[in-house]
Amino acid sequence: MAWSNLPVDLLYYISSKLHVVDFLRFSVVCTSWNSTFANNAHKHIHFHPSPWLLLPSKKGEASDTLAFWDLTIKEEDIACHHHFSSLNGHIFGRRCISSKDGWLVTLDKKDLRPRIFNPLTKAEISFPSLFTIPDDKYHTIKPEYASDGSIELSYKEICRGLCTYTKYFCNVYFQKIVISSNDPHGTAIVIYGYDKLLALARPGDRAWVLGPQLLPYNTNDHDEFEDVCYHEEEQRFYAITRFSRVLAFDHNGQNVEMICQPIQDERPIQEYCMNYIFFLMGTLLKIEREINIFTRPVDERYAGKTIRISVLKLVQDVVATSSSFSQWTTIKDLGGFSLFVGCNQTFSLHHTTVPEIKPNCIYFCDHLDESSQDDVYHDAGFFDLQNDCFHYFFDYDSQPNWPPSIWFMPSIS
């Protein structure tokens, strides 16, 4: 039997054992294979999962290439395993700010338009410019252009009386973008501003709209949104704040529900800690991460290193006297799953599905507010929950990394 006449079911079985890049090579062996996969891949093909880490480029946003380290390839040193070039129209002049399910979220440094981009298929979807986020009594965002077309002054935070200029604007003002789905109907949430507010938009919208506000609930001036996740079954977003308050809301930012009241945070304000939020097997989890910020003696650049990670689950309706409340309980066992946190949307993988990763670990990568190309972080590695130990991927004496590394799960969907 000729290769081109192999049964479709056998082709699907073979492809299910391949990583996505090998599948792309597999699909171009002959025209019949290519036609089969082109017509049915989205319905039938389930690739062997392969978490990648987007590596920084020496050219920063001036690069037209993307380089990834594949976590499933066993090597002692970090290396570029997958390289995508000639992406000028998709990434040049843009910062990769987040990722979800095989799509990178990019942010154009001039027009502030977020786009989601699949580097394997080169598909792209645009959202409205972040300049269209409505002004409120605390914030105003407007472009002022220099003679060469570049942005000179980008926004003013009225309550602080601060202005941030273009060199640092995208890095300090937009912390994270979370999307519900990688299609023209998905909703995006941006966490923005020093006070970390929320705004929402869909592809095709003329402007962003303001999301839920903390003001009706807030009793602490230092509370602010830190992370957002999307619940597929409930079709709504969950947002967590610095003090572990959790709000749920729909695609329009409406029907807001208080899921968990804030807790008194014992951490000093100057400590750099953050919360991530994620659902694992129906349980709402909070991942706490503490980063030590220090100045390198060799060049006086700022650097950071994750020094503590804790995972807690939300236990609701805990009864105390005549009332009930929710509380966070520390856990050490994730049922064989590991979580991937950072600028990306948090995702999970089971070690039986990807034997190359360690079970019950938190894989982390660079994630600092107000970071810039002048800093050196390289803060990536994993924390073993059960053995209570860290493993770091990078040398902290290495060169500046920009943009920061991001976890990425390749896909052709």
For residue 138, pLDDT beyond 70: no
What tokens appear for 92 in the block? 């040049």
For residue 219, pLDDT beyond 60: no
Alpha carbon dihedral 112, 113, 116, 118, in 10-degree steps, equals -80
Question: What angle is formed at CA 83 by the lines to CA 77 and CA 85, rounded to 5 degrees?
Answer: 150
pLDDT: is 26 or 385 the higher one?
385
The band of 208, judged by pLDDT with boundaries at 50, 70 and 90, is: very high
DSSP 7-25: -HHHHHHHHHTS-HHHHHH
For residue 353, pLDDT beyond 70: yes
Cβ neighbours, 10 Å, residue 371: 21
pLDDT for residue 220: 57
What tokens appear for 349 in the block? 């993988």
Where are the chain's structural domains?
A: 1-48, 49-408
β-bridge partners, 258: 247
Query: What is the side-by-side strand order in the sheet with 162-165?
Result: 139-145, 151-157, 162-165
pLDDT for residue 236: 97
Residue (of 67, 59, 119) closest to 89 by Cα position: 119
Instruction: Taking residues 240-262, report their average pLDDT.
Output: 94
β-bridge partners, 411: none
Residue (of 398, 335, 401, 328) closest to 365 by Cα position: 401
pLDDT: is 208 or 57 the higher one?
208
Instruction: Taking residues 115-139, report their average pLDDT.
Output: 87
Under a CB-based contact definition with an 8 Å cutoff, are residues 356 and 74 in contact? Answer: yes
Q: What sign does the dihedral 254-259-264-265 (CA atoms) show? A: negative
pLDDT for residue 322: 47
pLDDT digits (tens, 9 = 90+) for 151-192: 665 555 555 545 555 556 666 778 899 999 988 899 999 998
Tokens 């079954």 belong to 233
Amino acid at 90: H
The band of 209, judged by pLDDT with boundaries at 50, 70 and 90, is: very high
CA–CA separation, 60 and 258 (whole Å)? 40
Cα 385 to the center of its chain, rounded Å: 21
For residue 344, pLDDT beyond 50: yes
User: Under CATH, which number does the domain 49-408 receive?
Assistant: 2.130.10
For residue 204, pLDDT beyond 50: yes
